Amino acid sequence: MVVDKITVRAYNTHDMADGKKEILRAAGDLLKKGPRFLKKRGDNIDPELRQRLYDDLETLRKKIKTREGQKDVDKLVTHLEAEFGRLFGYRRKSSLRENIEGMLWAVVIALLIRAFIIEAYEIPTGSMIPSLLVGDHLFVSKFDYGIRVPFTNLYLITYAKPKRGDVIVFHYPGHDEDRGKDFIKRVVAVAGQRVRLRHNVLYINGKPVKTRLLKTAQSCRDSDAEGCLCDLQEEDLKDDKYVTQHFSQVSYNPCQNRGDWPPGNDYIVPANSVFVMGDNRDNSKDSRYWGIVPLHNIEGKARIVFWPPSRMFHVVR
């Protein structure tokens, strides 16, 4: 005999006394676990007794479904708890235990989601202006590049590598006061590529990235650069287009453009690493200052802004 799955929602429990609610929870637990006990371990008991227990479970199910005979439900629950306890060591879970288990499972699921699927991140500085603003809350995908051991830098599986244009969150690789913090920057070069910034144009392997000037000598969107003038320009990587900001090179700008980088030969990105920059090129501490980001430091790829409301559903590009 198969006993259907039910819940105590067949009753309106809002107006019930706590004792009745407890009985209904106990009945639901019996109807969930009783058939499993009988199926897996019922061969060890008398066949007639096993059938009577199936029949009693079916009777209990029908009475709850039709909302009949509260006293009969109480008696059946008491009887079945005693029988399943005697035969299989069954014990009713208390409400406190159920609540604690529910909370623990919620915590475990939340941790698994955070470790393997998606994590929230808040933009703390203006280094990614204009693409991302201070105070933006966004979701970071944790599985774009592989599956890592939770809370470590070790990957169980890697099936992709970051590409140019990806906005990534990573553990800061430096050894100063920011060590251990999560940073967010854009990948501008990958292992083996040569990098140079000349007259605000990014060069990869000696070739300039296609760049289009959008606005010039306008007020910067960065609160740290109040009174300064900035240019906005679009960089086109064929598969990705994004906008960067830098200080204008007009003579009346009070803020100085950083100019070319590096001062010597092109920088060659080492193996198993990426070179990152902030889109706010003149107000970003990035690979130009503290070096490359090892692949194992990467937490995930920035995907979409979910807060504040004015920026909700803004896709990170």
Dihedral-angle region of residue 44 (phi above 0 means left; psi in -120 to 50 means alpha; beta otherwise): alpha
Sequence-separated (6 or more) residues with CB below 8 Å from residue 18? none
In contact, 171 and 180? CB cutoff 8 Å: yes
From residue 64, give the alpha-carbon distance in Å to each of 4, 21, 32, 82.
12, 12, 14, 19
Q: Which of 131, 142, 185, 284 is catalytic?
A: 185
Sequence-separated (6 or more) residues with CB below 8 Å from residue 86? none
Tokens of 21: 């609610």
Is residue 185 part of the annotated active site? The answer reads: yes
Is residue 251 part of the annotated active site? The answer reads: no
In contact, 246 and 232? CB cutoff 8 Å: no
Tokens of 275: 């070179």
In contact, 215 and 204? CB cutoff 8 Å: no
Q: Which residues pair with 199 in a beta bridge?
A: none
CA atoms of 28 and 94, how far apart (whole Å): 13
Q: Which of 127, 131, 273, 287 is catalytic?
A: 127
The distance between the two most distant Cα atoms of the chain, rounded to a whole number of Å, is: 98
109-112: Cβ within 8 A, 24+ apart:
111/150
| DSSP state letter for 49 | H
In contact, 64 and 24? CB cutoff 8 Å: yes
In contact, 266 and 194? CB cutoff 8 Å: yes
In contact, 229 and 247? CB cutoff 8 Å: yes
Any idea which residue has 């083996």 for tokens?
192
**Residue numbers annotated as active site:** 127, 185
